[in-house]
Structure 1
Amino acid sequence: MVLLRPEKMNSFDDALHVEMTDALRVVQLEADLRALLWRSTGKAFSVGGDFELMRLAHSSIPQRRRIVDDGLRLLSTFIELDIPIVVALHGDALGLGATLVLAADVVVTHPKVRIGDPHVQIGLVAGDGGCLVWPQSIGMMRARRHLLTGDPLHGDEAHRIGLVSDLVDDPDEVLPMARKLAERICGLPPLAVQGTKKSLNRVTRFRFDEVIELSFAHETTTLGSDDLIEAIEAFREKRTPKYRGC
Protein backbone atom coordinates (compact mmCIF):
# COMPACT_ATOMS: atom_id res chain seq x y z
CA MET A 1 0.00 0.00 0.00
CA VAL A 2 1.48 3.32 -1.11
CA LEU A 3 0.45 6.91 -0.34
CA LEU A 4 0.63 8.87 -3.60
CA ARG A 5 0.07 12.50 -2.65
CA PRO A 6 3.66 13.77 -2.42
CA GLU A 7 2.81 17.29 -3.63
CA LYS A 8 0.71 17.69 -0.47
CA MET A 9 3.17 15.77 1.73
CA ASN A 10 0.67 12.89 1.78
CA SER A 11 -1.76 14.85 3.94
CA PHE A 12 -5.20 13.34 4.44
CA ASP A 13 -8.01 15.01 2.51
CA ASP A 14 -11.56 13.73 1.91
CA ALA A 15 -10.49 11.44 -0.90
CA LEU A 16 -7.54 9.87 0.91
CA HIS A 17 -9.66 9.11 3.99
CA VAL A 18 -12.12 7.15 1.85
CA GLU A 19 -9.60 5.58 -0.55
CA MET A 20 -7.39 4.23 2.22
CA THR A 21 -10.37 2.82 4.11
CA ASP A 22 -11.57 1.10 0.93
CA ALA A 23 -8.08 -0.25 0.21
CA LEU A 24 -7.81 -1.75 3.70
CA ARG A 25 -11.19 -3.42 3.30
CA VAL A 26 -10.04 -4.98 0.03
CA VAL A 27 -6.86 -6.22 1.75
CA GLN A 28 -8.95 -7.76 4.54
CA LEU A 29 -10.83 -9.86 1.97
CA GLU A 30 -7.67 -11.21 0.30
CA ALA A 31 -7.30 -14.64 1.90
CA ASP A 32 -3.85 -15.28 0.41
CA LEU A 33 -2.20 -12.13 1.78
CA ARG A 34 0.16 -12.72 4.72
CA ALA A 35 1.43 -9.17 5.39
CA LEU A 36 0.85 -5.59 4.22
CA LEU A 37 3.86 -3.38 3.46
CA TRP A 38 2.91 0.29 3.77
CA ARG A 39 5.07 3.07 2.36
CA SER A 40 4.67 6.49 0.80
CA THR A 41 6.20 8.69 -1.88
CA GLY A 42 7.84 12.09 -1.58
CA LYS A 43 9.74 13.79 1.22
CA ALA A 44 7.27 13.17 4.05
CA PHE A 45 5.54 9.93 4.94
CA SER A 46 2.39 11.86 5.94
CA VAL A 47 1.91 15.19 7.71
CA GLY A 48 -1.62 14.29 8.85
CA GLY A 49 -4.76 16.26 8.15
CA ASP A 50 -5.00 18.62 5.19
CA PHE A 51 -5.48 22.28 6.20
CA GLU A 52 -8.21 22.76 3.60
CA LEU A 53 -10.07 19.79 5.03
CA MET A 54 -9.84 21.42 8.47
CA ARG A 55 -11.26 24.66 7.05
CA LEU A 56 -14.09 22.68 5.48
CA ALA A 57 -14.80 21.00 8.82
CA HIS A 58 -14.85 24.42 10.47
CA SER A 59 -17.39 25.74 7.95
CA SER A 60 -20.44 23.77 9.14
CA ILE A 61 -21.54 21.21 11.70
CA PRO A 62 -22.69 18.64 9.08
CA GLN A 63 -19.33 18.85 7.29
CA ARG A 64 -17.56 18.51 10.63
CA ARG A 65 -19.48 15.39 11.55
CA ARG A 66 -18.95 13.81 8.15
CA ILE A 67 -15.20 14.41 8.20
CA VAL A 68 -14.86 13.12 11.76
CA ASP A 69 -16.90 10.03 10.85
CA ASP A 70 -14.58 9.37 7.89
CA GLY A 71 -11.56 9.60 10.18
CA LEU A 72 -13.15 7.29 12.74
CA ARG A 73 -14.00 4.77 10.02
CA LEU A 74 -10.41 4.79 8.73
CA LEU A 75 -8.86 4.28 12.15
CA SER A 76 -11.32 1.53 13.07
CA THR A 77 -10.67 -0.32 9.81
CA PHE A 78 -6.91 0.01 10.28
CA ILE A 79 -6.78 -1.45 13.79
CA GLU A 80 -9.11 -4.32 12.90
CA LEU A 81 -7.06 -5.57 9.94
CA ASP A 82 -6.19 -9.25 10.45
CA ILE A 83 -3.02 -8.99 8.37
CA PRO A 84 0.21 -7.69 9.99
CA ILE A 85 1.14 -4.18 8.82
CA VAL A 86 4.81 -3.33 8.26
CA VAL A 87 5.62 0.36 7.76
CA ALA A 88 8.61 1.68 5.81
CA LEU A 89 8.83 5.08 7.50
CA HIS A 90 11.27 7.03 5.33
CA GLY A 91 9.99 10.55 6.15
CA ASP A 92 8.15 12.57 8.78
CA ALA A 93 4.89 11.21 10.21
CA LEU A 94 2.70 13.76 11.98
CA GLY A 95 -0.83 13.89 13.36
CA LEU A 96 -3.05 11.24 11.78
CA GLY A 97 -0.02 10.06 9.81
CA ALA A 98 1.76 9.28 13.08
CA THR A 99 -1.36 7.71 14.60
CA LEU A 100 -1.71 5.18 11.81
CA VAL A 101 2.02 4.41 11.80
CA LEU A 102 1.97 3.76 15.55
CA ALA A 103 -1.11 1.55 15.16
CA ALA A 104 0.86 -0.74 12.82
CA ASP A 105 2.72 -3.89 13.87
CA VAL A 106 6.27 -3.23 12.68
CA VAL A 107 7.77 0.20 11.96
CA VAL A 108 11.18 0.64 10.33
CA THR A 109 12.69 4.12 10.27
CA HIS A 110 15.97 6.06 10.44
CA PRO A 111 17.39 8.63 12.90
CA LYS A 112 16.42 11.82 11.04
CA VAL A 113 12.70 11.11 10.74
CA ARG A 114 10.33 13.13 12.94
CA ILE A 115 7.31 11.51 14.54
CA GLY A 116 4.83 13.72 16.35
CA ASP A 117 1.25 14.70 17.00
CA PRO A 118 0.99 18.50 16.78
CA HIS A 119 -2.80 18.70 17.13
CA VAL A 120 -2.62 21.01 20.16
CA GLN A 121 -0.30 23.36 18.27
CA ILE A 122 -3.06 24.12 15.78
CA GLY A 123 -5.90 24.32 18.27
CA LEU A 124 -7.16 20.74 18.00
CA VAL A 125 -7.62 17.84 20.38
CA ALA A 126 -5.58 14.76 19.41
CA GLY A 127 -8.86 12.96 18.88
CA ASP A 128 -8.16 10.86 15.79
CA GLY A 129 -6.27 8.17 17.66
CA GLY A 130 -3.30 9.94 19.24
CA CYS A 131 -4.73 9.49 22.74
CA LEU A 132 -4.96 5.77 22.00
CA VAL A 133 -1.73 4.80 20.27
CA TRP A 134 0.82 7.02 22.02
CA PRO A 135 0.12 5.75 25.58
CA GLN A 136 -0.10 2.21 24.23
CA SER A 137 3.35 2.56 22.65
CA ILE A 138 5.39 4.50 25.20
CA GLY A 139 3.34 4.73 28.39
CA MET A 140 1.09 7.44 29.75
CA MET A 141 3.73 9.82 31.14
CA ARG A 142 5.75 10.11 27.94
CA ALA A 143 2.55 10.25 25.89
CA ARG A 144 1.27 13.15 27.98
CA ARG A 145 4.54 15.00 27.44
CA HIS A 146 4.33 14.78 23.66
CA LEU A 147 0.57 15.06 23.13
CA LEU A 148 0.20 18.10 25.41
CA THR A 149 3.08 19.98 23.74
CA GLY A 150 2.96 18.59 20.21
CA ASP A 151 6.75 18.20 20.31
CA PRO A 152 8.01 15.54 17.87
CA LEU A 153 10.61 12.83 18.40
CA HIS A 154 13.41 11.95 16.02
CA GLY A 155 13.75 8.39 14.83
CA ASP A 156 16.64 7.41 17.09
CA GLU A 157 14.88 8.62 20.24
CA ALA A 158 11.61 7.06 19.07
CA HIS A 159 13.38 3.73 18.73
CA ARG A 160 15.10 4.07 22.10
CA ILE A 161 11.82 4.49 23.97
CA GLY A 162 9.86 1.92 21.96
CA LEU A 163 7.75 4.15 19.71
CA VAL A 164 9.06 2.30 16.63
CA SER A 165 10.36 -1.25 16.35
CA ASP A 166 13.38 -1.07 14.03
CA LEU A 167 16.03 1.54 13.24
CA VAL A 168 18.44 1.62 10.30
CA ASP A 169 21.25 4.08 9.70
CA ASP A 170 20.22 5.51 6.34
CA PRO A 171 16.91 6.42 4.64
CA ASP A 172 17.79 4.16 1.69
CA GLU A 173 17.86 1.17 4.04
CA VAL A 174 14.32 1.66 5.34
CA LEU A 175 12.33 0.03 2.54
CA PRO A 176 14.66 -2.99 2.09
CA MET A 177 14.56 -3.71 5.82
CA ALA A 178 10.78 -3.31 5.95
CA ARG A 179 10.41 -5.62 2.97
CA LYS A 180 12.72 -8.16 4.60
CA LEU A 181 10.65 -8.17 7.79
CA ALA A 182 7.38 -8.44 5.83
CA GLU A 183 8.79 -11.40 3.91
CA ARG A 184 9.88 -13.02 7.17
CA ILE A 185 6.33 -12.73 8.52
CA CYS A 186 4.97 -14.15 5.26
CA GLY A 187 7.18 -17.21 5.71
CA LEU A 188 5.77 -18.08 9.13
CA PRO A 189 2.74 -20.34 9.76
CA PRO A 190 -0.27 -18.23 8.68
CA LEU A 191 -2.72 -19.47 11.31
CA ALA A 192 -0.26 -18.68 14.09
CA VAL A 193 0.50 -15.22 12.73
CA GLN A 194 -3.13 -14.28 12.15
CA GLY A 195 -4.23 -15.62 15.53
CA THR A 196 -1.53 -13.56 17.24
CA LYS A 197 -2.46 -10.49 15.21
CA LYS A 198 -6.16 -10.87 16.05
CA SER A 199 -5.34 -11.21 19.75
CA LEU A 200 -3.21 -8.05 19.66
CA ASN A 201 -6.00 -6.27 17.81
CA ARG A 202 -8.38 -7.17 20.64
CA VAL A 203 -6.18 -5.36 23.16
CA THR A 204 -6.16 -2.23 21.00
CA ARG A 205 -9.90 -2.51 20.34
CA PHE A 206 -10.72 -2.55 24.06
CA ARG A 207 -8.74 0.66 24.55
CA PHE A 208 -10.25 2.10 21.36
CA ASP A 209 -13.77 1.64 22.72
CA GLU A 210 -12.79 3.29 26.01
CA VAL A 211 -11.24 6.48 24.67
CA ILE A 212 -12.02 7.16 21.00
CA GLU A 213 -15.63 8.29 21.25
CA LEU A 214 -14.70 10.93 23.82
CA SER A 215 -11.53 12.10 22.07
CA PHE A 216 -13.26 12.39 18.69
CA ALA A 217 -16.07 14.36 20.35
CA HIS A 218 -13.56 16.81 21.80
CA GLU A 219 -11.80 17.09 18.44
CA THR A 220 -15.13 17.81 16.76
CA THR A 221 -15.64 20.72 19.15
CA THR A 222 -12.21 22.19 18.45
CA LEU A 223 -12.70 21.84 14.69
CA GLY A 224 -15.32 24.57 15.07
CA SER A 225 -13.10 26.89 17.11
CA ASP A 226 -11.66 30.26 16.12
CA ASP A 227 -8.30 29.10 17.48
CA LEU A 228 -8.05 26.52 14.69
CA ILE A 229 -8.38 29.15 11.96
CA GLU A 230 -5.96 31.45 13.78
CA ALA A 231 -3.41 28.63 14.01
CA ILE A 232 -3.69 27.82 10.29
CA GLU A 233 -3.42 31.48 9.25
CA ALA A 234 -0.50 32.12 11.61
CA PHE A 235 1.34 29.08 10.23
CA ARG A 236 0.88 30.27 6.65
CA GLU A 237 1.84 33.85 7.52
CA LYS A 238 4.83 32.67 9.59
CA ARG A 239 3.80 34.63 12.68
CA THR A 240 3.03 33.88 16.31
CA PRO A 241 -0.63 32.91 16.73
CA LYS A 242 -2.90 34.78 19.13
CA TYR A 243 -5.24 32.29 20.77
CA ARG A 244 -8.44 33.33 22.55
CA GLY A 245 -9.71 29.98 23.80
CA CYS A 246 -12.83 29.99 21.67
Structure 2
Amino acid sequence: MSVAAHIENLECATLELEVRDAVLTVRVHRPEALNALSPEVIAELREVFDLLRSLGRADAVGDPDWSIRGVILTGSGGRAFVAGADITRMRDMSREEVRAYTRDAQELTVWIETLPVPVVAAVNGFALGGGCELAMACDMIYASENAAFGQPEVALGLIPGFGGCVRLQQYVGIAAARELILTGRRIPAEEAQRIGLVSRVLPDTGALMGAARESIALVAAQSPTAVAAAKRAIRAAQALPTDAGLQIELEAFADRFGTPDMTEGTAAFVEKRTPRFPGL
Protein backbone atom coordinates (compact mmCIF):
# COMPACT_ATOMS: atom_id res chain seq x y z
CA MET A 1 0.00 0.00 0.00
CA SER A 2 1.33 3.46 -0.90
CA VAL A 3 2.04 6.20 1.61
CA ALA A 4 -0.90 8.17 0.22
CA ALA A 5 -3.23 5.19 0.71
CA HIS A 6 -2.02 4.67 4.28
CA ILE A 7 -2.69 8.33 5.08
CA GLU A 8 -6.12 8.27 3.48
CA ASN A 9 -7.02 5.37 5.79
CA LEU A 10 -6.01 7.23 8.95
CA GLU A 11 -8.72 8.26 11.39
CA CYS A 12 -7.78 11.45 13.22
CA ALA A 13 -9.71 13.35 15.88
CA THR A 14 -7.71 16.59 15.67
CA LEU A 15 -6.60 16.68 12.02
CA GLU A 16 -8.35 16.91 8.67
CA LEU A 17 -6.44 15.14 5.89
CA GLU A 18 -6.96 15.41 2.14
CA VAL A 19 -4.90 13.89 -0.67
CA ARG A 20 -5.56 15.46 -4.08
CA ASP A 21 -3.31 15.44 -7.15
CA ALA A 22 -0.46 13.96 -5.06
CA VAL A 23 -0.66 16.88 -2.61
CA LEU A 24 -1.49 16.17 1.02
CA THR A 25 -3.25 18.91 2.97
CA VAL A 26 -2.92 18.53 6.74
CA ARG A 27 -5.31 20.83 8.59
CA VAL A 28 -5.05 21.12 12.37
CA HIS A 29 -8.67 21.04 13.50
CA ARG A 30 -9.28 22.32 17.02
CA PRO A 31 -11.06 25.59 16.20
CA GLU A 32 -12.51 25.83 19.71
CA ALA A 33 -8.91 26.09 21.03
CA LEU A 34 -7.49 28.06 18.08
CA ASN A 35 -5.84 24.80 16.95
CA ALA A 36 -3.52 24.69 19.97
CA LEU A 37 -0.98 21.87 20.02
CA SER A 38 -2.35 19.48 22.59
CA PRO A 39 -0.55 16.18 23.19
CA GLU A 40 -3.22 14.55 20.99
CA VAL A 41 -2.50 16.95 18.11
CA ILE A 42 1.23 16.31 18.44
CA ALA A 43 0.63 12.53 18.47
CA GLU A 44 -1.55 12.63 15.35
CA LEU A 45 0.85 14.93 13.48
CA ARG A 46 3.66 12.55 14.39
CA GLU A 47 1.69 9.62 12.97
CA VAL A 48 1.13 11.43 9.66
CA PHE A 49 4.66 12.75 9.24
CA ASP A 50 6.21 9.46 10.31
CA LEU A 51 4.37 7.81 7.40
CA LEU A 52 5.57 10.56 5.06
CA ARG A 53 9.19 9.76 5.94
CA SER A 54 8.80 6.60 3.79
CA LEU A 55 8.36 8.62 0.58
CA GLY A 56 10.92 7.78 -2.08
CA ARG A 57 11.59 4.30 -0.74
CA ALA A 58 10.88 1.22 -2.82
CA ASP A 59 7.40 -0.28 -2.55
CA ALA A 60 6.49 -3.99 -2.62
CA VAL A 61 7.41 -4.34 -6.32
CA GLY A 62 10.58 -2.26 -6.04
CA ASP A 63 9.28 1.03 -7.46
CA PRO A 64 9.92 4.27 -5.54
CA ASP A 65 6.85 5.55 -3.68
CA TRP A 66 6.31 9.17 -4.68
CA SER A 67 2.54 8.99 -4.17
CA ILE A 68 2.68 12.34 -2.37
CA ARG A 69 4.83 15.07 -3.91
CA GLY A 70 4.19 17.84 -1.40
CA VAL A 71 2.41 18.76 1.82
CA ILE A 72 0.41 21.82 2.84
CA LEU A 73 0.17 22.35 6.59
CA THR A 74 -2.57 24.73 7.74
CA GLY A 75 -5.25 25.32 10.37
CA SER A 76 -9.03 25.23 10.38
CA GLY A 77 -11.53 27.85 11.45
CA GLY A 78 -10.06 30.93 9.75
CA ARG A 79 -8.72 32.55 12.94
CA ALA A 80 -5.58 30.55 13.56
CA PHE A 81 -2.93 28.41 11.90
CA VAL A 82 -1.86 27.16 15.33
CA ALA A 83 -2.17 29.62 18.22
CA GLY A 84 0.54 27.86 20.22
CA ALA A 85 1.09 25.01 22.62
CA ASP A 86 -1.88 23.93 24.72
CA ILE A 87 -1.14 25.97 27.86
CA THR A 88 -4.22 24.69 29.67
CA ARG A 89 -2.90 21.15 29.40
CA MET A 90 0.77 22.00 29.77
CA ARG A 91 0.52 24.01 33.00
CA ASP A 92 -0.36 20.91 35.04
CA MET A 93 2.40 18.69 33.61
CA SER A 94 5.30 17.53 35.72
CA ARG A 95 8.83 18.39 34.58
CA GLU A 96 9.25 14.88 33.18
CA GLU A 97 5.89 15.03 31.39
CA VAL A 98 6.76 18.36 29.81
CA ARG A 99 10.15 16.98 28.74
CA ALA A 100 8.39 14.13 26.90
CA TYR A 101 5.81 16.51 25.36
CA THR A 102 8.53 18.90 24.21
CA ARG A 103 10.79 16.11 22.96
CA ASP A 104 7.93 14.71 20.86
CA ALA A 105 7.18 18.17 19.43
CA GLN A 106 10.84 18.85 18.63
CA GLU A 107 11.23 15.47 16.93
CA LEU A 108 8.09 16.22 14.89
CA THR A 109 9.63 19.47 13.63
CA VAL A 110 12.76 17.58 12.57
CA TRP A 111 10.65 15.02 10.70
CA ILE A 112 8.87 17.86 8.87
CA GLU A 113 12.13 19.63 8.07
CA THR A 114 13.81 16.49 6.72
CA LEU A 115 11.00 15.10 4.55
CA PRO A 116 12.13 14.39 0.97
CA VAL A 117 9.20 16.44 -0.39
CA PRO A 118 8.41 20.14 0.13
CA VAL A 119 6.19 21.25 3.00
CA VAL A 120 4.44 24.62 2.77
CA ALA A 121 3.00 26.24 5.90
CA ALA A 122 -0.17 28.07 4.84
CA VAL A 123 -0.61 30.43 7.79
CA ASN A 124 -4.17 31.69 7.94
CA GLY A 125 -4.32 33.60 11.22
CA PHE A 126 -2.36 33.28 14.45
CA ALA A 127 0.98 31.45 14.37
CA LEU A 128 2.19 32.08 17.87
CA GLY A 129 4.59 30.14 20.09
CA GLY A 130 4.42 26.51 19.04
CA GLY A 131 2.49 27.53 15.93
CA CYS A 132 5.31 29.77 14.74
CA GLU A 133 7.78 27.00 15.56
CA LEU A 134 5.72 24.46 13.60
CA ALA A 135 5.65 26.80 10.58
CA MET A 136 9.42 27.36 10.75
CA ALA A 137 10.01 23.62 10.35
CA CYS A 138 8.43 23.84 6.87
CA ASP A 139 10.30 24.66 3.67
CA MET A 140 8.23 27.74 2.87
CA ILE A 141 5.88 29.90 4.91
CA TYR A 142 3.04 31.59 3.04
CA ALA A 143 0.66 33.83 4.98
CA SER A 144 -2.69 35.48 4.52
CA GLU A 145 -2.90 39.21 5.26
CA ASN A 146 -4.59 38.52 8.61
CA ALA A 147 -1.76 36.28 9.83
CA ALA A 148 0.28 37.15 12.91
CA PHE A 149 3.53 35.63 14.15
CA GLY A 150 5.35 35.68 17.46
CA GLN A 151 7.15 33.85 20.25
CA PRO A 152 5.32 35.17 23.33
CA GLU A 153 6.52 32.51 25.78
CA VAL A 154 8.32 34.99 28.09
CA ALA A 155 4.91 36.41 29.05
CA LEU A 156 4.15 32.97 30.54
CA GLY A 157 7.44 32.68 32.38
CA LEU A 158 8.71 30.30 29.70
CA ILE A 159 10.93 30.33 26.62
CA PRO A 160 10.34 28.84 23.15
CA GLY A 161 10.68 25.06 23.41
CA PHE A 162 9.70 23.60 20.04
CA GLY A 163 12.65 25.03 18.10
CA GLY A 164 12.07 28.78 18.27
CA CYS A 165 15.40 29.63 19.90
CA VAL A 166 17.14 27.72 17.09
CA ARG A 167 15.17 28.25 13.90
CA LEU A 168 14.01 31.85 14.35
CA GLN A 169 17.59 33.15 14.19
CA GLN A 170 18.19 30.99 11.11
CA TYR A 171 15.26 32.73 9.42
CA VAL A 172 15.66 36.35 10.52
CA GLY A 173 19.14 36.65 12.04
CA ILE A 174 20.24 36.85 15.64
CA ALA A 175 19.30 40.49 16.27
CA ALA A 176 15.69 40.18 15.09
CA ALA A 177 15.31 36.80 16.79
CA ARG A 178 16.48 38.21 20.12
CA GLU A 179 14.10 41.15 19.81
CA LEU A 180 11.09 38.97 19.04
CA ILE A 181 11.83 36.32 21.68
CA LEU A 182 12.79 38.70 24.51
CA THR A 183 9.89 41.12 23.97
CA GLY A 184 7.32 38.49 23.02
CA ARG A 185 6.11 40.96 20.40
CA ARG A 186 3.50 39.84 17.86
CA ILE A 187 4.13 40.90 14.26
CA PRO A 188 1.77 41.05 11.26
CA ALA A 189 2.31 39.12 8.05
CA GLU A 190 3.74 42.14 6.19
CA GLU A 191 6.49 42.65 8.79
CA ALA A 192 7.17 38.89 8.93
CA GLN A 193 7.76 38.97 5.17
CA ARG A 194 9.98 42.04 5.43
CA ILE A 195 12.32 40.41 7.95
CA GLY A 196 12.49 37.14 6.01
CA LEU A 197 10.25 34.86 8.05
CA VAL A 198 7.50 34.66 5.41
CA SER A 199 8.03 34.04 1.69
CA ARG A 200 4.71 35.35 0.36
CA VAL A 201 1.68 37.24 1.68
CA LEU A 202 -1.68 36.56 0.02
CA PRO A 203 -4.93 38.52 0.41
CA ASP A 204 -7.12 35.74 1.79
CA THR A 205 -7.30 32.03 2.59
CA GLY A 206 -8.39 31.06 -0.92
CA ALA A 207 -5.42 32.81 -2.52
CA LEU A 208 -3.15 31.41 0.19
CA MET A 209 -4.11 27.79 -0.47
CA GLY A 210 -3.97 28.35 -4.23
CA ALA A 211 -0.45 29.75 -4.01
CA ALA A 212 0.69 26.83 -1.84
CA ARG A 213 -0.67 24.30 -4.33
CA GLU A 214 0.91 26.16 -7.27
CA SER A 215 4.35 26.10 -5.61
CA ILE A 216 4.09 22.39 -4.85
CA ALA A 217 3.03 21.76 -8.46
CA LEU A 218 6.18 23.54 -9.65
CA VAL A 219 8.32 21.37 -7.37
CA ALA A 220 6.45 18.22 -8.43
CA ALA A 221 7.47 18.85 -12.06
CA GLN A 222 11.13 18.47 -11.06
CA SER A 223 13.16 15.37 -10.24
CA PRO A 224 11.92 14.12 -6.85
CA THR A 225 15.32 12.70 -5.95
CA ALA A 226 17.05 15.98 -6.84
CA VAL A 227 14.55 17.91 -4.71
CA ALA A 228 15.22 15.55 -1.79
CA ALA A 229 18.99 15.89 -2.28
CA ALA A 230 18.75 19.69 -2.43
CA LYS A 231 16.77 19.75 0.82
CA ARG A 232 19.41 17.61 2.53
CA ALA A 233 22.28 19.77 1.28
CA ILE A 234 20.60 23.03 2.32
CA ARG A 235 19.95 21.72 5.82
CA ALA A 236 23.42 20.24 6.22
CA ALA A 237 25.17 23.42 5.09
CA GLN A 238 23.05 26.08 6.79
CA ALA A 239 25.10 26.40 9.99
CA LEU A 240 28.53 25.73 8.48
CA PRO A 241 31.28 28.14 7.42
CA THR A 242 31.35 28.79 3.67
CA ASP A 243 34.23 26.41 2.89
CA ALA A 244 32.61 23.51 4.76
CA GLY A 245 29.23 24.25 3.22
CA LEU A 246 30.72 24.27 -0.27
CA GLN A 247 32.22 20.84 0.37
CA ILE A 248 28.78 19.52 1.37
CA GLU A 249 27.34 20.99 -1.82
CA LEU A 250 30.14 19.57 -3.98
CA GLU A 251 29.62 16.02 -2.72
CA ALA A 252 25.83 16.25 -3.03
CA PHE A 253 26.14 17.62 -6.57
CA ALA A 254 28.57 14.89 -7.63
CA ASP A 255 26.34 12.20 -6.14
CA ARG A 256 23.57 13.15 -8.58
CA PHE A 257 25.66 12.11 -11.59
CA GLY A 258 24.78 8.70 -13.00
CA THR A 259 21.38 8.57 -11.29
CA PRO A 260 18.36 7.70 -13.48
CA ASP A 261 16.74 11.08 -12.75
CA MET A 262 19.89 12.94 -13.77
CA THR A 263 20.22 10.85 -16.94
CA GLU A 264 16.60 11.53 -17.88
CA GLY A 265 16.73 15.22 -17.00
CA THR A 266 19.83 15.96 -19.06
CA ALA A 267 18.56 13.87 -21.98
CA ALA A 268 15.24 15.73 -21.96
CA PHE A 269 17.08 19.06 -21.94
CA VAL A 270 19.22 18.10 -24.96
CA GLU A 271 16.21 16.63 -26.79
CA LYS A 272 14.04 19.68 -25.95
CA ARG A 273 11.24 17.68 -24.34
CA THR A 274 9.54 17.43 -20.96
CA PRO A 275 11.41 15.02 -18.68
CA ARG A 276 9.72 11.88 -17.33
CA PHE A 277 11.57 11.36 -14.08
CA PRO A 278 11.54 7.79 -12.72
CA GLY A 279 12.18 9.07 -9.21
CA LEU A 280 15.45 7.16 -8.82
Q: TM-score, normalised by structure 1?
A: 0.77
Q: Partner of 2:86 in structure 1? A: 50
Deviation at 1:205, TM superposition (A): 8.4
1:188-227 aligned within 5 A: 188-203=222-237
Highest RCO, 1 vs 2 (Cα 8 Å, sep ≥ 6): 1
Q: Partner of 1:78 in structure 2? A: 112
Q: Partner of 1:109 in structure 2? A: 143
- In 1, the alpha carbon distance for the partners of 2:116 and 2:176 equals 29
Look up the equivalent residue of 1:18 and give its one-letter code. Answer: A
**Is the CA contact 1:18–1:74 (under 8 Å) kept in the aligned structure 2?**
no
**Is the CA contact 2:126–2:148 (under 8 Å) kept in the aligned structure 1?**
yes
Instruction: Classify the secondary structure of the residue corresponding to 1:56.
Output: coil
Deviation at 1:75, TM superposition (A): 2.3
Encode CA deviations 1:151-204: one digit per residue, 9 max, x unaligned: 011001111121111112333311111111111111112122111112123246
**Is the CA contact 2:148–2:186 (under 8 Å) kept in the aligned structure 1?**
yes
Q: 2:213 aligns with which of 155, 179, 182?
A: 179
Q: Based on CA coordinates, which of the two structures has the bigger radius of gyration? A: 2
- In 1, the alpha carbon distance for the partners of 2:230 and 2:35 equals 31
Look up the equivalent residue of 1:52 and give its one-letter code. Answer: T
Which protein is richer in helix relative to its size? 1
Q: Partner of 1:88 in structure 2? A: 122
- In 1, the alpha carbon distance for the partners of 2:92 and 2:239 equals 30
Q: 1:39 aligns with which of 46, 56, 74?
A: 74
Q: Partner of 2:197 in structure 1? A: 163
**Is the CA contact 1:11–1:50 (under 8 Å) kept in the aligned structure 2?**
yes
User: 1:99/1:205 Cα in 2 relative to 1: closer, same or farther (>3 Å)?
Assistant: farther
Instruction: Classify the secondary structure of the residue corresponding to 1:45.
Output: strand
- Following TM superposition, where does structure 1 have runs of at least 4 consecutive aligned residues deviating by more than 3 angstroms? 203-206
- In 2, the alpha carbon distance for the partners of 1:204 and 1:128 equals 19
2:56 corresponds to 1:22: no
**Is the CA contact 1:79–1:204 (under 8 Å) kept in the aligned structure 2?**
no
Q: Partner of 1:62 in structure 2? A: 96
2:46 corresponds to 1:11: no
- In 1, the alpha carbon distance for the partners of 2:203 and 2:118 equals 24
Q: TM-score, normalised by structure 2?
A: 0.69
Which protein is richer in strand relative to its size? 2
Look up the equivalent residue of 2:218 and give its one-letter code. Answer: R
Aligned residues: 204
**Is the CA contact 2:142–2:208 (under 8 Å) kept in the aligned structure 1?**
yes
Percent sequence identity over matched residues? 29
Encode CA deviations 1:53-93: one digit per residue, 9 max, x unaligned: 22232xx2332332222223222322222221112111110
**Is the CA contact 1:28–1:83 (under 8 Å) kept in the aligned structure 2?**
no
**Is the CA contact 1:110–1:156 (under 8 Å) kept in the aligned structure 2?**
no
Look up the equivalent residue of 2:40 and give its one-letter code. Answer: A
Q: State which drifts further: 167-176 or 2-11.
A: 167-176
User: 1:76/1:106 Cα in 2 relative to 1: closer, same or farther (>3 Å)?
Assistant: closer
Deviation at 1:127, TM superposition (A): 2.4
- Mark the runs of 5 or more structure 1 residues left unpaired by the alignment: 207-246
Encode CA deviations 1:92-148: one digit per residue, 9 max, x unaligned: 101111011122111211232101111111110112210111100010001100000
**Is the CA contact 2:136–2:168 (under 8 Å) kept in the aligned structure 1?**
yes
- In 1, the alpha carbon distance for the partners of 2:132 and 2:118 equals 17
Q: Partner of 1:224 in structure 2? A: none
User: 1:121/1:203 Cα in 2 relative to 1: closer, same or farther (>3 Å)?
Assistant: farther
User: 1:62/1:161 Cα in 2 relative to 1: closer, same or farther (>3 Å)?
Assistant: closer
**Is the CA contact 1:92–1:115 (under 8 Å) kept in the aligned structure 2?**
yes
- Mark the runs of 5 or more structure 2 residues left unpaired by the alignment: 1-25, 56-64, 241-280
